[in-house]
Structure 1
Amino acid sequence: QFDYDNWDTMSGARRGPGRPMRHVEEEEEPEMDPGGNLWVQMLQQHQAMLQQQQAMHHQYQEQQAHAERKHREMMQVLQQQRAE
Protein backbone atom coordinates (compact mmCIF):
# COMPACT_ATOMS: atom_id res chain seq x y z
CA GLN A 1 0.00 0.00 0.00
CA PHE A 2 2.65 2.52 1.03
CA ASP A 3 4.95 1.53 -1.81
CA TYR A 4 2.13 1.91 -4.29
CA ASP A 5 1.31 5.34 -2.89
CA ASN A 6 4.92 6.39 -3.19
CA TRP A 7 5.17 5.11 -6.74
CA ASP A 8 1.94 6.88 -7.63
CA THR A 9 3.13 10.28 -6.39
CA MET A 10 6.49 9.73 -8.08
CA SER A 11 4.93 8.95 -11.45
CA GLY A 12 2.52 11.84 -10.92
CA ALA A 13 5.43 14.17 -10.27
CA ARG A 14 7.22 12.92 -13.36
CA ARG A 15 4.33 13.13 -15.82
CA GLY A 16 2.82 16.04 -13.97
CA PRO A 17 -0.86 15.48 -14.95
CA GLY A 18 -1.96 16.42 -11.42
CA ARG A 19 -2.32 20.19 -11.19
CA PRO A 20 -0.93 20.54 -7.62
CA MET A 21 2.11 18.43 -8.42
CA ARG A 22 3.11 20.55 -11.38
CA HIS A 23 2.50 23.70 -9.37
CA VAL A 24 4.94 22.53 -6.72
CA GLU A 25 7.52 21.72 -9.39
CA GLU A 26 7.14 25.14 -10.97
CA GLU A 27 7.60 26.87 -7.64
CA GLU A 28 10.66 24.85 -6.68
CA GLU A 29 12.57 25.31 -9.91
CA PRO A 30 12.88 29.12 -10.06
CA GLU A 31 14.19 29.10 -6.49
CA MET A 32 17.07 26.84 -7.44
CA ASP A 33 17.69 28.39 -10.85
CA PRO A 34 18.51 32.01 -9.92
CA GLY A 35 20.85 30.67 -7.26
CA GLY A 36 22.66 28.68 -9.89
CA ASN A 37 22.71 31.64 -12.24
CA LEU A 38 24.03 33.92 -9.51
CA TRP A 39 26.78 31.43 -8.79
CA VAL A 40 27.64 31.23 -12.49
CA GLN A 41 27.56 35.03 -12.81
CA MET A 42 29.85 35.37 -9.79
CA LEU A 43 32.28 32.88 -11.28
CA GLN A 44 32.21 34.63 -14.65
CA GLN A 45 32.74 38.04 -13.06
CA HIS A 46 35.61 36.64 -11.02
CA GLN A 47 37.20 35.15 -14.13
CA ALA A 48 36.75 38.41 -16.02
CA MET A 49 38.39 40.32 -13.18
CA LEU A 50 41.29 37.89 -13.10
CA GLN A 51 41.79 38.20 -16.85
CA GLN A 52 41.69 41.99 -16.57
CA GLN A 53 44.23 41.96 -13.75
CA GLN A 54 46.49 39.65 -15.72
CA ALA A 55 46.21 41.88 -18.77
CA MET A 56 46.98 44.98 -16.70
CA HIS A 57 49.89 43.21 -15.04
CA HIS A 58 51.21 42.22 -18.46
CA GLN A 59 50.92 45.81 -19.70
CA TYR A 60 52.66 47.03 -16.56
CA GLN A 61 55.50 44.55 -17.07
CA GLU A 62 55.89 45.69 -20.66
CA GLN A 63 55.95 49.34 -19.62
CA GLN A 64 58.52 48.57 -16.93
CA ALA A 65 60.71 46.71 -19.42
CA HIS A 66 60.36 49.58 -21.88
CA ALA A 67 61.26 52.13 -19.20
CA GLU A 68 64.29 50.08 -18.18
CA ARG A 69 65.47 49.90 -21.79
CA LYS A 70 65.08 53.65 -22.20
CA HIS A 71 66.89 54.21 -18.91
CA ARG A 72 69.81 52.00 -19.95
CA GLU A 73 70.02 53.75 -23.32
CA MET A 74 70.07 57.14 -21.62
CA MET A 75 72.74 56.01 -19.18
CA GLN A 76 74.85 54.72 -22.06
CA VAL A 77 74.50 58.03 -23.86
CA LEU A 78 75.43 59.94 -20.70
CA GLN A 79 78.45 57.75 -20.09
CA GLN A 80 79.55 58.18 -23.69
CA GLN A 81 79.18 61.95 -23.38
CA ARG A 82 81.20 61.91 -20.16
CA ALA A 83 83.84 59.76 -21.78
CA GLU A 84 84.31 62.25 -24.59
Structure 2
Amino acid sequence: MVGRDAIVHFLTVDFPRMFVADVTVDFRGFSADGDVVVVEETMQATPANGNVYRNDYCLVFELRDGLIHRVREYMDTANGHRMMFGDS
Protein backbone atom coordinates (compact mmCIF):
# COMPACT_ATOMS: atom_id res chain seq x y z
CA MET A 1 0.00 0.00 0.00
CA VAL A 2 1.29 3.40 -0.89
CA GLY A 3 -0.23 6.63 0.36
CA ARG A 4 -2.52 7.69 3.12
CA ASP A 5 -5.77 6.93 1.23
CA ALA A 6 -4.75 3.32 0.49
CA ILE A 7 -3.74 2.71 4.09
CA VAL A 8 -6.94 4.25 5.49
CA HIS A 9 -9.02 2.16 3.06
CA PHE A 10 -7.27 -1.03 4.15
CA LEU A 11 -7.69 -0.29 7.86
CA THR A 12 -11.33 0.82 7.64
CA VAL A 13 -12.72 -1.40 4.86
CA ASP A 14 -10.53 -4.40 4.00
CA PHE A 15 -9.15 -5.32 7.45
CA PRO A 16 -12.61 -5.64 9.09
CA ARG A 17 -13.75 -7.88 6.21
CA MET A 18 -10.68 -10.13 6.59
CA PHE A 19 -10.63 -10.30 10.41
CA VAL A 20 -14.21 -10.34 11.69
CA ALA A 21 -13.79 -10.89 15.45
CA ASP A 22 -11.49 -11.17 18.46
CA VAL A 23 -8.64 -9.04 17.10
CA THR A 24 -5.94 -8.64 19.74
CA VAL A 25 -2.39 -7.37 19.50
CA ASP A 26 0.23 -8.34 22.07
CA PHE A 27 3.18 -5.94 21.88
CA ARG A 28 6.37 -7.85 22.59
CA GLY A 29 9.08 -5.24 22.14
CA PHE A 30 9.96 -1.72 21.09
CA SER A 31 13.28 -0.30 19.96
CA ALA A 32 14.10 3.21 18.78
CA ASP A 33 17.16 4.80 17.26
CA GLY A 34 16.80 8.35 15.99
CA ASP A 35 13.95 8.46 13.48
CA VAL A 36 13.52 4.67 13.30
CA VAL A 37 11.22 2.72 15.63
CA VAL A 38 10.90 -1.09 15.56
CA VAL A 39 7.83 -2.81 17.03
CA GLU A 40 7.49 -6.56 17.60
CA GLU A 41 3.96 -7.87 18.08
CA THR A 42 1.75 -10.93 17.88
CA MET A 43 -1.71 -10.51 16.35
CA GLN A 44 -4.54 -12.95 16.97
CA ALA A 45 -7.96 -12.80 15.34
CA THR A 46 -10.82 -14.72 13.82
CA PRO A 47 -10.74 -14.38 10.03
CA ALA A 48 -13.89 -14.43 7.90
CA ASN A 49 -13.32 -18.16 7.23
CA GLY A 50 -13.63 -18.94 10.97
CA ASN A 51 -10.07 -20.23 11.36
CA VAL A 52 -7.80 -19.18 14.19
CA TYR A 53 -5.22 -16.60 13.09
CA ARG A 54 -2.04 -16.00 15.10
CA ASN A 55 1.08 -14.52 13.61
CA ASP A 56 4.16 -12.60 14.71
CA TYR A 57 4.98 -9.28 13.09
CA CYS A 58 7.89 -6.88 13.03
CA LEU A 59 7.11 -3.33 11.96
CA VAL A 60 9.77 -0.74 11.15
CA PHE A 61 8.54 2.86 11.31
CA GLU A 62 10.58 5.64 9.71
CA LEU A 63 9.72 9.13 10.94
CA ARG A 64 10.16 12.42 9.11
CA ASP A 65 9.39 15.78 10.71
CA GLY A 66 7.73 13.99 13.63
CA LEU A 67 5.28 12.03 11.43
CA ILE A 68 5.33 8.46 10.15
CA HIS A 69 6.89 8.59 6.70
CA ARG A 70 7.21 4.87 5.89
CA VAL A 71 6.28 1.55 7.50
CA ARG A 72 7.79 -1.80 6.58
CA GLU A 73 5.95 -4.87 7.86
CA TYR A 74 7.50 -8.31 8.19
CA MET A 75 5.60 -11.50 9.01
CA ASP A 76 5.62 -15.23 8.32
CA THR A 77 3.71 -15.11 5.04
CA ALA A 78 3.53 -18.91 4.63
CA ASN A 79 1.99 -19.26 8.09
CA GLY A 80 -0.44 -16.40 7.39
CA HIS A 81 -1.49 -17.94 4.08
CA ARG A 82 -2.09 -21.32 5.72
CA MET A 83 -4.32 -19.78 8.41
CA MET A 84 -6.27 -17.71 5.90
CA PHE A 85 -6.59 -20.22 3.03
CA GLY A 86 -5.67 -23.67 4.38
CA ASP A 87 -2.90 -25.88 3.02
CA SER A 88 -3.73 -25.26 -0.65
Q: TM-score range by the shorter chain?
A: under 0.3
Rg (Cα) greater in structure: 1
Give 1 or 2: higher helix fraction: 1
Higher relative CO (Cα under 8 Å, sequence separation at least 6) belongs to: 2
More strand by share: 2
